[in-house]
């Protein structure tokens, strides 16, 4: 059983990843095409838990929906990639910064 965190914990899916959220939580998800301050809906919800009452979808909960507002867009910290061949005097260093959207959960239904 999952602990209850300031509301109703749930597991929505966005961008192929699962997130454990509660109302009022702020979370970074994959980049969304929405303006800052816009309201969005996440309709792929796997599970909703409210204390002892647990609702698990097969695989998704019908009518399960999370509403959230877009706080900001940004880029994550750089991940550095180093390729190195020993004794060959060869090395290559590159990096990658992933885009993200920060959202705040405003409502849960399902």
**101 domain-assigned:** yes
Contacts of 91 (CB under 8 A, 6+ apart): 82, 83, 84, 85
Distance set, CA 48 to CA 41, 59, 89, 92, 109 (Å): 16, 12, 55, 46, 9
Contact present, 103 and 31 (Cβ < 8 Å): no
* pTM metric for this prediction: 0.76
Structural domain contains residue 5:
no
Q: Is residue 38 part of a domain?
A: yes
Give the closest residue to 104 by CA, choosing from 14, 40, 10: 40
Predicted confidence (pLDDT) per residue in 62-73, tens digit: 888 899 999 999
Residue partners of 66: CB distance under 8 A and separation at least 6: 10, 12, 21, 41, 42, 43, 45, 105, 107, 108
30 pLDDT exceeds 60? yes
1 in a domain, yes or no?
A: no
Assigned domain for 47 exists: yes
36 lies in some domain = yes
**Looking at residue 56, what is its pLDDT?**
86
- Structural domain range at position 92: 10-109
Q: Are 101 and 32 in contact (CB under 8 A)?
A: yes
Residue 96 has a pLDDT of 97
Is there a domain that residue 2 lies in?
Answer: no
Count up the domains in the chain and report the number. Answer: 1
């Amino acid at each position: 059983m999952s602990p209850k965190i300031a509301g109703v914990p749930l597991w929505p899916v966005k961008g192929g990843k699962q997130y454990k959220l509660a109302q009022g939580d702020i979370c970074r998800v994959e980049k969304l095409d929405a303006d800052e301050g816009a309201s969005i809906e996440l309709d792929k919800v796997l599970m909703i838990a409210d204390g002892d009452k647990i609702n698990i979808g097969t695989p998704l909960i019908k009518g399960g929906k999370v509403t959230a507002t877009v706080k900001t867009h940004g880029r994550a910290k750089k991940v550095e990639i180093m390729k190195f061949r020993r004794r060959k005097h060869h090395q290559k260093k590159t990096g990658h910064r992933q885009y993200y959207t920060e959202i705040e959960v405003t409502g849960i239904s399902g």
